[in-house]
Chains A and B, each alone.
Chain A
Amino acid sequence: MKEKVHLFEIGLVRGLIGMTLGVLIGLGLVSGIRALLGLPVWNPEAAWVLAGVFGTIGFMLMVGVMRDWIKWALGEETPDFPETDPRLQGWAKYLSVSYDHKIIGIQYGVTALIVISLAGLFAIIFRTELIAPGIQFLQPQDYNTIMTLHGIVMIGGMLLGVGAMSNYLVPLLIGANDMAFPRLNAFAYWINVPAVILLVGTLFMGGLETGWTGYPPLSSRAPLGTQWFLLGVYFIGFSSIFGALNIIATVMKLRAKGMTYFRMPVFVWTAAATALIALTATQLIGLSFQLVMFERLFGMAFFEPAKGGNPILFQHLFWFYSHPAVYVFVLTGLGVISELLPVFARKPLFGYRWVALSSFGIALVGFLVWAHHMFTSGMEPYLRVPFMYSTLLVAVPTGVKFFSWVATIWEGKLSFETPMLFVLGAISIFLLGGLSGPPNGVVATDLHLQDTYWIVGHFHATMFGGFLFPFLAAIYYWFPKITGRMYNETLGKIHFYMMLPAFYVQSLGQMQVGLLGMRRRIADYDPALQIEFSHLLITVAAYVIGISLIIAFINFAYSAAKGKVVTTNVWRSRSPEWALLPTPIPAHNYPEPIEVVGEPYDYGLEGAVYVRLSSSAPLRETSEPSLPPDTAVASAD
């Protein structure tokens, strides 16, 4: 008999209570101190900032994710490997702290889908507003709030999606039993929850008006909500940094016997490259947002020119993270593409080493291109041409990936289950995103394109092709592994065939109106531009994408409960999680250590083995004879 779990024992519930208490304490503390000092009691900026900080701390304390650390601080012993409360079953398990990387991965994934849907809903709202010139129903102030939230909440959602994939997959793919630091892993997930609450909370705090870029001086004078926006992003940054640290340690230390770096599944390469970016660049956005926060709170002047600051400095700091951040989403997605293509093409990944190293090529060059967001910003003019060269260089390692993918499927034996459809769709869309890059990477043409809908179209193509489509492909592909049940193939195909063309209409439409003069982030546009019809199409396409995603969610929910039970290697994959792990996966993954004895993608090579259980019989007794006399015979002259 399992014990009944009280509502209060569920982590999320406790966390939310903790957050509420923290917010109240923060508000009270500021007001109390001000009262003691004889100042006017109510100072909304200071009070709400401290409330946000205390709320987040309250959440993290009460959710229970820091329990072991606190015990250590108090000198108490804890088990070596933190165990999840065994009384928590079913839903309660997923709503509470767990240290199992698979559960954390699913927590990341479900949260990502919720947060991405919320951000998508914001997009649908303002797309409806843009269906025709003039103000339909959304006043400019609310438009700015919703548009900003769409951007930043979507970025949060994508980071969660990246966390979902790397947390769930990396340990499985390298034959590890968990991540290197399970407690840090849980912390990195849970801090996202209060952070997203802060972001959405801005809706009720006067809104936002800066766009997700939060450029000062606009952000230093924008409504109060900006403070929680800055704070929310700041806390999400913690998640990125801790998560990245964990991935790097895991990849470096926990690989199975025989898994050299060049025998890792290629997704692990991209996860490592992604982690390298997140670990080293995230500080910059945290820092720049913190400085704006301090400008507002303490009247400091880092970026406010009236007080001797420099607004361009913010943009450098901001983009030094925010450009590489693009590769955080994209590299992970490209890793999924490279990982899945060989399985569905039954052919080795073409040029494995080139594909693996190109991820690091993209990551490293990605650090040197940030100022291409600032060609028209008024930074020193001589910086523009060097940054144009470095920007276009990204095309080289990216090109290696495209050509290698095409060479992988060329002469393959392709089958088109839903994950493969999304992978192929992702390649074509990411191609559109990549090819629409050079016009804005070249200074002369960017003078026209900067801050227009062309840019909107360009980065939506890179994000859909580089992240969203691969993320969906990954969900469909690993769905049987995660849930032990098969998704519905028909619904999956309907999802794909609605989403792909709709996306093309949306993205190409955005690029066209941008070229014709549609600026970014405007609530209303001039009918004289004659772009109404394109806007109508874009809006319709956005709705189609929304509906297709609803179909996908129905598919996921229904199939997780009622789908056909799967226990086998449905995709006939060579990778260890399919080849060796039972479905559903046991608590600490591999029941016994595994060993890598071959190359990861040797499809079509008869008898080639990639991984096996370490305890499996010695070579001569396995099904692959060690000395086949007739496969490779040569005669000497």
Chain B
Amino acid sequence: MFRNFSRSTVRVLIASNHALFRHGLMSLFKKKLGVKVEIVAEVTNFESAIEVLEKHEVDLVIVDYDDDQLNQEDFLRRFVGGGGQKRIILVSLSNPESAMLYDRRELPLSQFEEWFEGWQEASTKLKVSSAGVDKRNNSSRSNRMKHFVVAGFLVVVLTVLLILGAGQVRLLPVAASTQAQPIDQLFRLMFFAIAFLFSLIVVFMLYSIVVFRRRKGDESDARHIEGNTKLEVTWTTIPLIIVLGLSFLGARSLAEVERPDPKALEVDVIGMQWTWRFEYPRYGIVSNELVLPVNKQVVLYLTSQDVIHSFWVPEFRVKQDLLPGGEEFVRTLRITPTEIGSYKVRCAELCGIRHAYMESPVIVVSQADFDVWVAQQTGESTDPVERGRKWSNQYGCLSCHSLDGSKLVGPSWLGLFGSEVKLADGRTVIADEAYIIESIRNPGAAIVEGYPNVMPANVGQDLSDERIQDIIAFIKTLR
């Protein structure tokens, strides 16, 4: 009971008309109980008690149970109905051998001992008079222990089963980069922790559901347990330590993932609705597929021409958004591919209608193959049609304009040149060179009927007149 008081000293108000009671109680406190007690006041009626209470802070009010001149009920009602912080006990000293206490709680016998333990912990010397209570409680305590041990065992079993089970399910794609290593390690650690914590809660729940179900016809309540501060502190502190530890590991992995290599290959990645362009400034290559040498770090400089996109190759694990806005908004991402093979970069930030299809090949090759590819790319074809095909690929035209007549976001190029085109504003024009140049330079000027006005205006800004001529030459061949 005293453990509930936060201060080390207990402030007591004694209400009795009998000097003997007051003195007896004081000496009991001071000599026999050894509790640090400050007797705030001694009063003989309810009104003066109220006056004292208004002036002083009091933890405990002791009322003489045998005093006929006091109305004990006034006291009880005041403290039971009021704020509830103060405690009141009624004490009877009529029998010289015993003290009779009334706490405002009423306890069944089974709980009395627990209540009384608190009293004892406060180093009082009072003892339980009923020996029978002891035995009953001891047996139920060992029972409680048994439930706890069985459930604990089941937690271990379920954890192991979950970990084994998860091993049978495909959960992560191949890890194909150096950066994937620390990330996957962290994933494994987390899966174990998740399996354990999930089991911990679920097993104790299921165990309760099975074992502590209410028997038919049983209308009685369960044991009255209000809480346990030690337990609460434990299950606040342990998770706190765990999350701090996990954050620390996370930060360490992040540092590892972002470790720069000064000799990294530099590639500019430009995202646009709904395609990717990769530029290798060292070689002057512009490509619509990202070709990378194996085991060599590449640093990607990411920008967008229109809305936000996100660069993600699941096998590499790492991801970074591409922001529009030029220089100030360039972001970097470092990847060291470790497995030769073909992957795909998939835009991971919703970017409009064809977001789902904003995917481009990422090809990891040996250094030798990479050198061959560079040599091929840097040589320019003498055939304008071939060049046109290349530009249409690199600049992302073909992600919206098909070559086979199928309807994508924009009109197909098959049979386009020289055909009659019906525009949204009702005009009909012939698709000649001037029309195609206008459509690239100023995409909003002439919208073909049945198509949305979505072509980015800046596509044309990056294309020289010569390259547009090459593209027209290429379109002419599509019949």
- Which residues of A does B touch, CB under 8 Å? 140-141, 144, 209-211, 215, 217-218, 221-222, 257-258, 260, 262-263, 305-306, 310-312, 345-348, 350-354, 376-378, 384-385, 388-389, 392-393, 395-396, 399-400, 402-404, 406-407, 409-416, 424, 427-428, 431-432, 435-436, 438-439, 442-445, 447-448, 450-452, 512, 515-517, 519-526, 528, 530, 572, 595, 597-599, 602-608, 618-620, 624, 626-629, 631-637
Residues B350 and A523 in contact, CB atoms below 8 Å apart: no
Which 5 A-B pairs rank lowest in CB-CB distance, beginning with the nearest?
A: A305-B325, A517-B314, A442-B250, A604-B224, A351-B227
User: Interface SS of chain B: helix, strand, loop or mixed?
Assistant: mixed
**Restricting to B116-146, which residues have a CB under 8 Å from any CB of A?**
116, 119, 125-130, 144
Q: Is B257 in the interface zone, CB < 8 Å from A?
A: yes
**CB contact between B81 and one of A258, A447, A606, A607 (< 8 Å): that residue:** A258
A258 touches B82 (CB 8 A): yes
Given contacts A392-B247, A407-B227, A413-B214, 15 further A-B contacts (CB under 8 A): A218-B307, A312-B323, A348-B227, A351-B231, A388-B251, A395-B242, A396-B240, A403-B235, A406-B204, A431-B202, A597-B81, A618-B77, A627-B90, A633-B100, A636-B97
A451 contacts B227, C-beta separation under 8 Å: no
Name the distance in Å between B311's Cβ and chain A's nearest Cβ. 9
Q: Report the minimal beta-carbon distance from A602 to chain B, rounded to whole angstroms.
A: 7
> Is A395 in contact with B257, judged by CB distance below 8 angstroms?
no
| Docked CA distance A620–B101 (Å) | 18
B129 and A635 form a contact (CB under 8 A): yes
A447 vs B171: C-alpha distance in the bound complex, in angstroms? 16
* A397 nearest CB neighbor, chain B only: B236
User: Does any Cβ of A come within 8 Å of B153's Cβ?
Assistant: no
- Considering the complex, which residues of chain B in the window 203-224 have a beta carbon less than 8 Å from any beta carbon of chain A? 204-205, 208-209, 212-215, 218-224
Min CB–CB distance A217 → chain B (angstroms): 5
Most buried by B among A404, A595, A626: A626
Q: Are B246 and A392 in contact (CB under 8 A)?
A: yes
**A378-B331, A392-B243, A396-B239 as given contacts; A451 in contact with B222, CB under 8 Å:** no
Contacts of A528 in B (CB 8 A): 344
Query: Interface readout for B165-178 with A: 1 if CB under 8 Å, 0 if not?
Result: 00001111100000
Q: Across the interface, which residues of A come within 8 angstroms of B324, CB to CB? A: 217, 305-306, 311
Contact of A516 among B171, B231, B348 (CB under 8 A): B171
B144 touches A626 (CB 8 A): no
Closest to B143 in A: A411
- A and B contact pairs by CB, cutoff 8 A, 28 listed: A217-B307, A217-B308, A218-B352, A258-B82, A305-B326, A346-B214, A378-B331, A389-B247, A395-B242, A409-B205, A410-B212, A414-B212, A414-B214, A427-B205, A428-B202, A448-B318, A448-B319, A515-B173, A516-B314, A517-B346, A519-B312, A524-B357, A605-B105, A619-B77, A631-B112, A634-B100, A636-B28, A636-B98
Q: State A151–B107 Cα separation when bound (angstroms).
A: 52
Q: Is B284 an interface residue, CB under 8 A from the partner?
A: no
Q: Which residues of A contact B43 (CB under 8 A)?
A: none
A350 touches B317 (CB 8 A): no
Docked-complex contact A517 and B183, CB < 8 angstroms:
no
In contact, A347 and B325 (Cβ under 8 angstroms)? no
Q: Which chain B residues border A413 with CB–CB below 8 Å?
A: 212-215, 218, 220-222
B467 CB–A CB distance under 8 Å: no
Closest A residue, CB atoms, query B240: A396
Enumerate chain B residues within 8 angstroms of A444, measured Cβ to Cβ.
182-183, 186, 250, 253-254, 257
Given contacts A407-B231, A443-B250, contact A412 B222 (CB under 8 A): yes
Across-interface contacts of B283 in A (CB, < 8 A): none
Cα A524 to Cα B357 in complex, Å, equals 8
Distance from B458 Cβ to chain A, minimum over Cβ atoms (Å):
10
Cβ-based interface call for B450 (8 A): no
Is B375 in the interface zone, CB < 8 Å from A? Answer: no
Q: Which residues of A contact B105 (CB under 8 A)?
A: 605, 608, 632
A499 to B331, CA, bound (A): 44
Q: Are A606 and B326 in contact (CB under 8 A)?
A: no
A376 vs B389: C-alpha distance when bound (angstroms): 35
**Bound CA span A619–B76, Å:** 9
User: Is A619's CB under 8 angstroms from B73's CB?
Assistant: yes
Which residue in chain A gives the minimum CB-CB distance to B344?
A526
* Least distance between A580 CB and chain B CB atoms (Å): 16
Which chain B residues border A409 with CB–CB below 8 Å?
205, 208-209, 212
B247 with A347: CB separation less than 8 A: no
B232 touches A351 (CB 8 A): yes
CB A207 to nearest CB in B, in angstroms, measures: 10
Q: Which of B101, B254, B321 sits near A385, CB closer than 8 Å?
A: B254
State the Cβ distance, B72 to closest chain A Cβ, in Å.
7
- The interface centre, meaning the residue of B99, B240, B251 with most chain A CB atoms within 10 A of its CB, is B251
How near does chain A come to B196, taking the closest CB pair, in angstroms?
10
Please tell me if B198 contacts chain A, counting CB pairs below 8 Å.
yes
Q: How distant is the Cα of A399 from the Cα of B240 in the complex, in angstroms?
A: 10
Given contacts A140-B354, A305-B329, A396-B239, contact A626 B126 (CB under 8 A): no
Interface string of B13-49 (1 = CB under 8 A from A): 0000000000000001000100000000000000000
The one of B201, B221, B254, B350 that contacts A210, using a Cβ cutoff of 8 Å: B350
Interchain CB contact (< 8 A) of A411 among B147, B198, B205, B322:
B147
Chain B residues with CB below 8 A from A347, complex form: 221-225
Complex interface: chain A residues within 8 A of B65 (CB): 627
Contact A634:B228 (CB < 8 A) given known A217-B306, A311-B324, A406-B201: no
> How far, in whole Å, are A629 and B306 apart by their CA atoms in the complex?
82
B355 at the interface (CB under 8 A from A): yes
Interface residues of B in 318-364 (CB under 8 A from A): 318-326, 328-329, 331, 344, 346-357, 359
Q: Chain B residues with Cβ under 8 A from A629's Cβ?
A: 100
CB distance from B213 to the nearest CB of A (A): 5
Output the nearest chain B residue to A358 by Cβ-Cβ distance. B236
| Set of chain B residues within 8 Å of A427, measured between Cβ atoms | 201, 205
The answer to whether B250 touches A632 (Cβ under 8 A) is no
Determine which of B99, B169, B246, B348 lies in contact with A442 in the assembled complex, contact meaning CB atoms within 8 Å: B246
A637 adjacent to B359 (CB under 8 Å): no
Q: Which residues in B have their C-beta under 8 angstroms from that of A605? A: 105-108, 111, 221, 224
Kindly list chain A residues whose C-beta atoms are within 8 Å of the C-beta of B116: 634
Closest-CB distance, B395 to chain A (whole angstroms): 20
Q: CA–CA, A389 to B254, complex, Å?
A: 13
Does B244 lie at the interface of the complex (its beta carbon under 8 Å from any beta carbon of A)? yes
- Asked if B150 is at the interface of the complex by the 8 Å CB criterion, the answer is no
Across-interface contacts of A624 in B (CB, < 8 A)? 106
> Complex formed: what's the CA distance from A420 to B161 in Å?
28
* Given A217-B308, A388-B250, A517-B173: A400 touches B232 (CB 8 Å cut-off): yes
What residues on B are CB-neighbors of A406 within 8 Å? 201, 204-205, 208
Closest to A353 in B: B227
Q: Given that A351-B227, A445-B183 are known contacts, is A515 also in contact with B172, CB under 8 Å in the complex?
A: yes
CB within 8 Å for A448 and B235 given contacts A414-B213, A606-B106: no
CA distance A618 to B71 in the complex (A): 13
Contact present for B307 and A396 (CB under 8 Å): no
In the bound complex, do residue B221 and residue A447 qualify as a contact, i.e. CB atoms below 8 Å apart?
no
Whole-angstrom CA separation of A361 from B198 in the bound complex? 22
Q: Are A603 and B246 in contact (CB under 8 A)?
A: no
Task: Give Cα distance in the complex from A572 to B129, angstroms.
Answer: 35
Does chain A have a CB within 8 A of B463? no
Closest A residue by C-beta to B309: A218
Q: Give the CA-CA distance A459 to B312 in the complex, in Å.
A: 21
Bound Cα distance from A411 to B207, whole angstroms: 10
CB-CB under 8 A for A635 and B232, given A218-B308, A305-B323, A444-B257: no
Complex alpha-carbon distance, A634 and B100, angstroms: 6
User: CB < 8 Å: which of A260, A346, A428, A637 contacts B222?
Assistant: A346
The answer to whether B325 and A144 have CB atoms under 8 Å apart is: no
User: For the complex, what is the distance from the CA of A442 to the CA of B243, rounded to whole Å?
Assistant: 10
Q: Does chain A have a CB within 8 A of B80?
A: yes
B157 at the interface (CB under 8 A from A): no
Residue interface mask B75-117, A partner, CB < 8 A = 1: 0110011111000001000000111111101111001100110
